[in-house]
Amino acid sequence: MRTVCWMALVGLMTSGCHAKFKKNASLLGDVQPQVVVAGGPTALLQGGDASASGVVVTAVQIFRASKARDRLQEAVDVDHVSNAFVAGLDDGLSSGIPFGLTGAQDAPVLQVEVISWGLEAPQMGRQGALTYRLRIRAYDRDARRVYATRHDCAVGFGDAPGISHALGTVDNVKQLNKLSNAELQQIYEAGARACGEQLAVRIRRHGAPRGRQPSVAHGD
């Protein structure tokens, strides 16, 4: 069981690993959300291959990624993004199943650690996505951990024309530079809110009593 549960922490979820949480989640009452962000947004723009020309492409991508990271860190307010994430989580848990959110300091804690977040493109010339990689833990009033999982979100970024998608010539850095700081902030807050809603569905799936689970398009 320990091996299976470790696999669950990296995304291969099984119902057995969350049986304890499913049994006790509704007994926690409302939980206090704590969002921990390790740092500012990053940029990962991958590309190239193992050939000599691929080495040059990769070097260019590293430079472009650093420019994109600097642009994001200049424009995006981490606290506002965290607040948007909590708002999405609150919306998703508004039914109270398996619990809702509260600001009470003595309440059980739902801790969301943002391991990394930013702009990621899987391949040079392809459309990027806003990504959020999360580690989630819940603690009861006695500070005993009752739940642990990980969750990744990816939200589409940019408005490159269809021909750029077809030809693989999307320029994510150029799209970044076309946006004002306020527009980038708004995009990231919307992405964080959507991610919070996604996480709420997952928590409900893991913690809701049998027969009251939400439907999930991509099961975990």
Domain ranges of the chain: 29-206
Handedness of CA 108, 211, 86, 199 (dihedral sign): positive
Residue 121 phi/psi, 5° resolution? Answer: -120, 125
To 10 degrees, what angle do helices 78-92 and 181-207 make? 40
Q: What is the mean pLDDT of residues 59-67?
A: 65
The token duo for 140 is 């009861």
d(CA 186, CA 4): 39
The token duo for 118 is 């930013």
| Domain 29-206 CATH (choose: 3.40.210, 3.30.230, 3.30.160, 1.10.287) | 3.30.160
pLDDT tens digit sequence for 7-19 = 333 333 334 567 7
pLDDT tens digit sequence for 66-114 = 777 888 888 889 899 999 999 999 999 988 888 899 999 999 999 999 9
The token duo for 123 is 């391949």
**208 — pLDDT class (breaks 50, 70, 90):** confident
Q: What percent of the chain has pLDDT over 90?
A: 30
pLDDT tens digit sequence for 37-59 = 878 888 776 643 333 333 344 55
More confident residue, 49 or 208: 208
- Among the listed residues 26, 11, 1, the one whose alpha carbon sits nearest the alpha carbon of residue 148: 11
Alpha helices in the chain (DSSP H): 2-9, 19-24, 52-75, 78-92, 162-167, 172-178, 181-207
Residues 6+ apart with CB under 8 A from 15: 22
DSSP, collapsed to helix, strand or coil, labels residue 113 as: strand
- Which regions of 38-161 does DSSP assign to beta strands (E)? 42-45, 109-121, 129-139, 145-156
**171 — pLDDT class (breaks 50, 70, 90):** low
Averaged pLDDT of the chain: 74
d(CA 42, CA 199): 21
